[in-house]
Amino acid sequence: MANVKPASTGASPYDSYQTSLTTRYCSPAMSQLFSQRSRHSTWRKLWLSLAESEKELGINTITDEALEQMRAHLTVTDEDFEVARVEEKSRRHDVMAHVHAFGAVAPAAAGIIHLGATSCFVTDNTELILARDAMDLICKKVAKVIANLSAFALRWKSEPTLAYTHLQAAQLITVGKRASQWILDLMLDLHAIEQVRQELKFRGAQGTTGTQASFVSIFEGDTSKCDQLNEILCQKFGFPSCYDVSTQTYTRKVDLIIANAVAGLGSTAQKITGDIRHLMHWKEIEEPFESSQIGSSAMAYKRNPMRSERVYSLARELMSKPASFAATHSDQWAERTLDDSAIRRIDIPEMFLLADAICIGLDNISDGLVVYPAVIASRVAAEAIILTPVHKLPFMITEDIIMRLCAKGVSRQHAHEEIRVLSHQAGAVVKQEGKPNDLVERIKANEFFKPIWGELDGMLKAELYTGRSSQIVEKYCGPGGPVSKALAPYADYIKGATTATLNV
């Protein structure tokens, strides 16, 4: 698509809509990758490579002078965009407008640019190139977030904290163990994106409906040269091969496969930042908060989780993309309809810009998480009733009491019922009367529990009830574990990367 000319000479950029993705949230690298100059300059590289390959395979009408002029003008200039804009307005065809603009600066090549190709030779192959390069950028950034969280998990691997099921206090885990759960989801995302990127293929030179008829004609019936042409093109652009079957386009199923992998990052981001938002509400963990940052325009004391909320919001939009790609794929009648064009111009860049912005936010958050152990311990004490002056027993330790009674020959069901009754009685005291939990005193006053009376005080240490949390973190995130192995290809990038900063 050619550049859109401003409505009036000298018009300010503030007079027209700008996407917040590029002005506020994503990186310059991702924004540049999907820029008009990047896209249309890639078209020119494809046209040059097509001409070079055709000449190599015996098309003598392609001269060295033509190729030299094409090589000298691979980057589309502002002047070129203006030529293309004028041409597209009259021709209503963006590819032919850029063919004309390229020919204007490379006149010796004007007659052979796009030889044998259909528009999708440049549009589709460019989308595949950009998607591949975008996935490379995303993978590096996901790896950086995993590295941040891995260091965080190892640091806090033994810090007991409340676990929640149904958002109700359950057994204890550790701060590091919860972070390892986040890491696992990110690891699955990284693997999915890596796999899609590795399996991505090229459309190549397939002709108008994927039959290569135009190239059979150009090569005077020598079909082996059609295969050679695609082999050369794949080599030039770094793809393993072309898709085995093509219509006018590569199948839009590929877009959906990419979207499913990339959008998976959205659900993970919502999970992580949703947890952080709850943890901030409980004042156990905080995202970074700058000294001059304002939490609320009205309530100056507030420290709102704006970073996590931003990521959460962007993730919601990213998660919507696969449905759009699925609809586009399912609606491609026969060999192709053009109702895929306008929506893909929006969906493909937005999908990667969103993923990029989410990675920036997660990197910024995960590299600056602040933990408040004293608050965590007090919440453990308040919710689980651990280590208070009167030795109140955590409700979650009731399972351990049952197990110890069973070891002494008591019926598991009988033990469960006895502890259930006392737990609810103690809970009523806390909820209805606002008094301290007296479960321990009830147990010590009940003869049924006499076999374990002597063990009660020794059971009142939080670290005894985190199971293998610390070991799980060490095994998963420590040296030689799955995380370090997955991050090995990104070691240099992670080492040289600084914490992502937010534009606003």
Residue 5 has pLDDT above 60, yes or no: no
What pLDDT band is residue 400 in, cutting at 50, 70 and 90? confident
Fold designation for 394-460? Ribonucleotide Reductase Protein R1; domain 1 (1.10.40)
User: What average pLDDT is seen over the chain?
Assistant: 89
pLDDT by residue (tens digit) across 403-414? Answer: 888 999 999 899
What pLDDT band is residue 396 in, cutting at 50, 70 and 90? low
336's enclosing H/E stretch is none
What is the rounded distance in angstroms from the CA atom of residue 284 to the CA atom of residue 381? Answer: 13
Locus of tokens 């042409």: 229
pLDDT by residue (tens digit) across 352-380? Answer: 999 999 999 999 999 999 999 999 988 88
- The segment(s) of the chain belonging to CATH 1.10.40 are 394-460
Q: Look at the chain and count its residues.
A: 504
Percent of the chain at pLDDT exceeding 90: 71
The residue with greater pLDDT, 260 or 23, is 260
Instruction: Looking at mean pLDDT, say which of 164-168, 217-221, 423-427, 429-433 comes out highest.
Output: 217-221
Asked whether 504 and 357 are in contact (CB, 8 A), the reply is no
Cα-to-chain-centroid distance, residue 80: 35
Q: Please give the full DSSP string across 467-483, using - where no structure is assigned.
A: TTHHHHHHHHHSTTSHH
What pLDDT band is residue 289 in, cutting at 50, 70 and 90? low
Residue 415 has pLDDT above 90, yes or no: no
Q: What are the structure tokens assigned to 202, written together?
A: 């090229």
Cα torsion angle, 417, 419, 424, 429, sign: positive
Q: What number of helices (H) and strands (E) belong to the chain?
A: 21, 4
Percent of the chain at pLDDT exceeding 70: 92
Q: Please give the full DSSP string across 421-466, using - where no structure is assigned.
A: HHHHHHHHHHHHH-PPP-HHHHHHT-GGGGGGGGGTGGG--GGGGS
| Catalytic residue positions, numbered | 166, 296
Q: Which residues contact 234 (CB under 8 A, 6 or more apart)?
A: 202, 204, 240, 241, 242
Fold designation for 119-289+305-372+485-490? Fumarase C; Chain A, domain 2 (1.20.200)
- The segment(s) of the chain belonging to CATH 1.10.275.10 are 25-109
What pLDDT band is residue 382 in, cutting at 50, 70 and 90? low
Residue 264 has pLDDT above 60, yes or no: yes
Asked whether 366 and 149 are in contact (CB, 8 A), the reply is yes
Asked whether 188 and 226 are in contact (CB, 8 A), the reply is no
Task: Please tell me the predicted confidence (pLDDT) of residue 388.
Answer: 37
Q: Which residues contact 208 (CB under 8 A, 6 or more apart)?
A: 118, 214, 248
- The segment(s) of the chain belonging to CATH 1.20.200.10 are 119-289+305-372+485-490
3-state secondary structure string across 98-136: HHHHHHHHCHHHCCCCCCCCCHHHHHHHHHHHHHHHHHH
What is the rounded distance in angstroms from the CA atom of residue 165 to the CA atom of residue 486? Answer: 29
Task: Please tell me the predicted confidence (pLDDT) of residue 299.
Answer: 43
Alpha-carbon radius of gyration of the chain: 31
Task: Please tell me the predicted confidence (pLDDT) of residue 387.
Answer: 34
- Count Cβ neighbours within 10 Å for each residue of 305-317 and write b for 16 or more, e otherwise: bebbbbbbebbeb
Task: Please tell me the predicted confidence (pLDDT) of residue 10.
Answer: 58
Assess if CATH 3.30.1360.170 describes domain 25-109: no
What is the rounded distance in angstroms from the CA atom of residue 39 to the CA atom of residue 130? Answer: 8
Count of CB atoms situated within 10 Å of the CB of 188: 13
* One-letter amino acid of 238: G
What is the rounded distance in angstroms from the CA atom of residue 503 to the CA atom of residue 105? Answer: 38
What is the rounded distance in angstroms from the CA atom of residue 363 to the CA atom of residue 367? Answer: 6
For 65, 353, 493, the CA distances from 71, given in Å and listed in that order, are 10, 30, 32
Task: Please tell me the predicted confidence (pLDDT) of residue 260.
Answer: 98
